[in-house]
Structure 1
Amino acid sequence: MEITEHIEALDREGRLLVAAAESAGTGARVPTCPDWRVRDLLRHTGMVHRWAGAFVADGHTSYHPDKGEPDLDGGDLLAWFREGHRWLVDTLTTAPPDVACWSFLPAPSPLAFWARRQAHETTVHRLDAESARDGTADAVGASAPDFAITPEFAVDGIDELLLAFHAREKSRVRTDRPRVLRVRATDTGTTWTVRLSSGPPVSERGETAEADCEVAGPAARLYLSLWNRLPMPGVSGDESVATLWRENSAVTWR
């Protein structure tokens, strides 16, 4: 996907997120993140937007910590979120293509990295906000069978998660007995092979090894399942491999 497409997705998803949050109310429980209320979701995502945008806007070439979450709630929190989201979209839109700044996953450029990362960050949290509005994780995206996520965008997000996030030493998806997980998007025909071992997962596109377990379904459903927002669809083979992913794959802020 192009940088402009990721920025367009970020713009759309942020607006959908805050609209769902406003409808739910900032005190509503977030079923897809049981420890959170909507206020926690807005504070976290708004903080990440400002943190990410600062690397591009200020040209930080090394890691800089975030500035923390605000002690805001209600209408003030919603306004704060909207302001930060708009600033991030505008920052990415007007940044020079060759902007030099820190990033933490492989990408064609820092700008490409931040546009992609924030598009997917915001999309996943948009679904969290919708789960709060609808009152149950099972109702996520109930208004649209594809969760308003295109197959192309979902495949891009699965690529980022499997080929980049979980290739890092920080990944906790590990097992003493080597196993292979296949991920199959039934609507696009895209497959991934994920080799699990005592080290970080090694993933690649295609069916490059015999799988112990396969998870298959539409790309958007897989995307949300691999981010632990929905149950795994179409599990076949050794289900303990899918359970291993489910129990250990959470990507945390700290």
Structure 2
Amino acid sequence: MNRLNATKDFWLAALRADGPALRDAVAETGPDAAVPGCPGWTTADLVEHLTAVLRWVRELAPRGVIDKPAPRVVPEPRPEWQEALDGLRREITGTIETLDALDPDLPSWTWPAQAKKAGFWQRRLAHEMSVHRWDAEAAAGRPTPIETKLAADGVSEVLDTWLPAGYRKGPTDLHGVVHLVATDASYEWFVRLRGAGIALLDTGTILDSDDHHARAQATGTASDLLLTLMGRAETDKLAVLGDPRLVTALRAG
């Protein structure tokens, strides 16, 4: 695994780019378009989900405590479409302003077993927005790739956060090492699967005597790797060698 040097400013820049692009895409489609990456969802569902997530994080991240917050609430009834779009715009703007004002080391509740700091949310919302921006553009019939460095960090987030926390959609009975290679970012990852267990290997400290030989390798752009891991694309977008089931075992959910 290469060391990614993503920072608060990098993640906020991604939010500033992907937030308006997402809103433009859902405004273009209207409320009833199907969202291919979220089966059963319409664009109205996507807007409702994102608005609630942004509001929730905007309220919890600045508290300066690690106590678990109240559950996220989706207001009812659902507002009219133009009001929903305006609400999403306000939450995007307000959340960016809130996260920009926070020291990444400020104590904050987070859901994985990691350091309880506000920087988690700066990173998490950048990736939440980027993948859902792709969803919204897919609903509009014009999806564009996730920016290369952001997508590479998104792959790392799946492997260092989602999967160790138990958010796996793929099979959990497989064993072996998976090698992921981002062709456009000069990044690679080695992941060891032991049934339900998973370990992201640090290639900078792997010893020659370690058994890190891959039983499967998946190669593609960073965006295609991330979209595959997040269930938005099939493995046929990638060049896969070895056992393809090991690649699907890395899908987050």
Q: TM-score, normalization: structure 1?
A: 0.85
Pairwise mapping of residues 198-209 of structure 1 onto structure 2 (< 5 A)?
Answer: 198-206=195-203, 209=212
Q: Which residue is equivalent to 1:56?
A: 61
Aligned position for 1:228: 231
Equivalent residue of 1:201, what SS? strand
- Shift of residue 178, structure 1, vs aligned partner: 1.4
Structure-1 residue corresponding to 2:221: 218
**Of 47, 60, 65, the match for 1:42:** 47
Query: 2-side partners of 1:204 and 1:193: how far apart?
Result: 5
> What residue number does 1:16 align with?
21
For the pair 1:167 / 2:164, whether they are aligned, the reply is yes
**What CA distance in whole angstroms lies between the structure 2 residues aligned with 1:231 and 1:75?**
34
Query: What secondary structure sits across from 2:66 in the alignment?
Result: coil
Question: 2:96 corresponds to which residue?
Answer: 89
Aligned length: 238
1:129 aligns with 2:129: no
Quick check: 2:168–2:249 contact (8 Å CA) kept in 1? no
| TM-score (normalizing by structure 2) | 0.86
Paired AA for residue 181 in structure 1 = V
Task: State the SS of the aligned residue for 2:241.
Answer: strand
Q: Which residue of 2 aligns with 1:144?
A: none
Equivalent residue for 2:3? none
Q: Deviations over 1:18-57 (max 9, x none)?
A: 1100001111111121210000111111111111111123
The one-letter code sitting in structure 2 at the alignment partner of 1:9 is: A
Deviation string for 1:180-213 (max 9, x for gaps)?
A: 2111111223211111222232112439511111
> Could you say what the CA RMSD is over the residues aligned between the two structures, in angstroms?
2.1
Q: Secondary structure at the match of 2:234?
A: coil
d(CA) in 2 for partners of 1:241, 1:98: 35
More helix by share: 1
| Deviation of the 1:153 alpha carbon | 1.4
1:2 to partner: Cα distance = 1.2
User: Per the alignment, in what secondary structure is the counterpart of residue 110 of structure 1?
Assistant: coil
RCO (CA 8 Å, sep 6+): is it higher in 1 or 2?
2
Deviation at 1:106, TM superposition (A): 6.3
> Out of 66, 69, 76, which is 2:72 matched to?
66
* 1:26 counterpart letter in structure 2: P
1:242/1:69 CA distance change after superposition, 3 Å:
farther
Residue 244 of structure 1: how far off its partner (Å): 3.6
Is the Cα–Cα contact under 8 Å of residues 39 and 73 in structure 1 kept in the other structure? no
Q: Which ranges of structure 1 fall in alignment gaps of 5 or more residues?
A: 142-146
Deviates more, 1:43-52 or 1:53-62: 53-62
More deviation in 108-117 or 220-229?
Answer: 108-117
Q: Which amino acid aligns with 1:18?
A: R
User: Are the aligned partners of 2:220 and 2:239 in contact in 1 as well (CA < 8 Å)?
Assistant: yes
Give, in angstroms, the shift of residue 98 of structure 1.
4.2
Query: Aligned letter for 2:232?
Result: R
Which residue of 147, 151, 165 maps to 2:148?
A: 151
CA distance in 1 between partners of 2:116 and 2:173 (Å): 36
Give the percent of matched residue pairs that are identical in Structure 1 and Structure 2. Answer: 29
The AA in structure 1 aligned to 2:24 is: A
C-alpha spacing 1:45/1:196, structure 2 compared with 1 (3 Å): same
